[in-house]
Amino acid sequence: MTTNGAQINIAETDAQIARCHNVMAELRPHIVDVDEFVAQVRRQYGEGFRLAFLEMAGEVRAVAGYRVMEMLFSGRTLYVDDLVTREGDRSRGFGGKLFDWLVERAREEGCKYLTLDSGVQRFDAHRFYLLKRMKIAAHHFTLDLAG
36 domain residue, yes or no: yes
Domain count, the chain: 1
| DSSP per-residue string spanning 41-92 | HHHHHTTT-EEEEEEETTEEEEEEEEEEEEETTTEEEEEEEEEEE-GGGTTT
124 domain residue, yes or no: yes
| Residue-range definition of the domain harbouring residue 119 | 2-131
92: CATH: 3.40.630.30
Q: What is the pLDDT of residue 1?
A: 67
Q: What is the pLDDT along the chain (147 residues), one digit of tens a residue?
A: 666 789 999 999 999 999 999 999 999 999 999 999 999 999 999 999 999 999 999 999 999 999 999 999 999 999 999 999 999 999 999 999 999 999 999 999 999 999 998 888 888 888 988 999 999 998 888 889 998
116 domain residue, yes or no: yes
143 domain residue, yes or no: no
